[in-house]
Amino acid sequence: MGQGTVQTKTRHQEPRDQEQRQKGQPDQEPTKSDRLRIHNLVTRDPRTGLAEDVRKGLAASPKRFLPKYFYDELGSQLFEAICLLPEYYLTRAEEEILRNYSDEIAAAVEGKKTLVEMGSGSATKTRLIIEALLREQTELLFMPVDISASALESSSRILLQSYPRLRIEAYAADYFAGMAELEKSERGRTLALFLGSNISNFPSADAVRFLKAMRSVLHKGDALLLGADLKKDPATLEAAYNDALGVTSAFNLNVLARINRELGGNFDLRSFKHHAFYNEDKGRIEIYIQSLLDQRVRIDKLDIEVDFAEGELIHTEHSHKYDEAGIDQLANATGFVRTKTWVDSQGRFSSNLLMAE
């Protein structure tokens, strides 16, 4: 086992493992602990350095935090709660597509496949693809990459309990560090997933950089299923990021709480508020944290004091909305060709099959 690699045992035996032991047979397939390997690259990758990125972001104008820092343990759980909100249609729309078309998606890539997923989170929707692949083949290797080690670990345990024919090789890592590892791995034919419209969080140059890196992980004939939220009326979009319960606000402000916890900050969360709106010209939701008053915040571990003016905005996330032309532009610039797009019954969300050329 390499540095930063853990092998994890799951608590319950699977029925088939129990049955084999009761019959006194040797295990024919790897035991659970053999079926899960998590490589934790987060602690040794400077690209995931919260401290340096916060220092840089607070010195920038306008000030900013990177969206990947939403996802500590609490942030990952808050995102799961967002997925259940009536206003946040994205998860339900994408789930509807995967429920209806998972067999078609699986069949679009020939042969026995390995499943890769970037930013897998709870991997709830992934189950639909896993089940489709396990209808086609006798066993499956799943290789998820996520910056949230806690989400990766709990989702992996749950998946292994559900699917005895699944093996997981997981990377707790920034996308790019994870892709560097995947590039070295032996995977055979690959179907990769990038769900939840995670692509939306990248400015267009970074979306191209991400897809080019993904393309170099894949081989000709492999495919990427890209989930992308579609342009629509501003009211529906703005409601999705301004839910009545305030969960999205908590998710956004958790970045300040995380800086307090991990870097010894003294942000008073009640002196800031969540601010999100649709910028129609740019075709994107813009998300900020707004300072409600003139204030000074100290961050002990960075040994800095930072002033915020009343009304000042700190940028935390963009969520770009797409149309077919936009997806084609991205695919064509990055060595993919879009061969098929599925949309949900209300035309809100798209799942795009990008084949590696």
Ligand X SMILES: C[S@@+](CC[C@H](N)C(=O)[O-])C[C@H]1O[C@@H](n2cnc3c(N)ncnc32)[C@H](O)[C@@H]1O
Q: Does residue 327 bind ligand X (CB under 6 A)?
A: no
Q: Which stretch binds ligand X (CB under 6 A): 71-79, 205-213, 230-238, 337-345?
A: 71-79
SS (H, E, C) 168-205: EEEEECCHHHHHHHHHHCCCCCEEEEECCCHHHHCCHH
Q: In angstroms, give the least distance from the CB of 155 to ligand X.
A: 9
Q: Which stretch binds ligand X (CB under 6 A): 22-30, 139-147, 238-246, 258-266?
A: 139-147
Q: Does residue 195 bind ligand X (CB under 6 A)?
A: yes
Subset of 149-178 contacting ligand X (CB under 6 A): 151, 174-175
**C-alpha angle 231-250-177 in degrees, rounded to nearest 5:** 70
Q: Which two tokens stand for residue 163?
A: 């699917």
Closest CA to 79 of 128, 146, 166, 12: 146
Q: In angstroms, give the least distance from the CB of 23 to ligand X.
A: 39
Output 71 or 308, the one with its CB closest to ligand X: 71
Task: Count the alpha carbons within 13 Å of 335 in the hemisphere toward its beta carbon.
Answer: 16
**Binding track, positions 73-92, relative to ligand X; x by CB under 6 A:** ---x--x---x-------x-
Decide: helix, strand or coil at residue 314: strand
Output 163 or 241, the one with its CB closest to ligand X: 241
- Rg value, the chain, Cα: 21
Decide: helix, strand or coil at residue 64: strand
Rounded to an integer, what distance in angstroms lies between the CA atom of residue 37 and that of residue 237?
38
Subset of 96-125 contacting ligand X (CB under 6 A): 119-121, 125
User: Could you tell me how many residues of this chain bind ligand X (CB under 6 A)?
Assistant: 20
- 71, 89, 202, 210: which one contacts ligand X (CB under 6 A)? 71
Q: Which two tokens stand for residue 99?
A: 């429920």
| Residue 42 backbone phi and psi in degrees, to 5 | -60, -40
Q: Does residue 147 bind ligand X (CB under 6 A)?
A: yes
Binding site for ligand X (CB under 6 A): 68, 71, 76, 79, 83, 91, 119-121, 125, 145-148, 151, 174-175, 195-196, 198
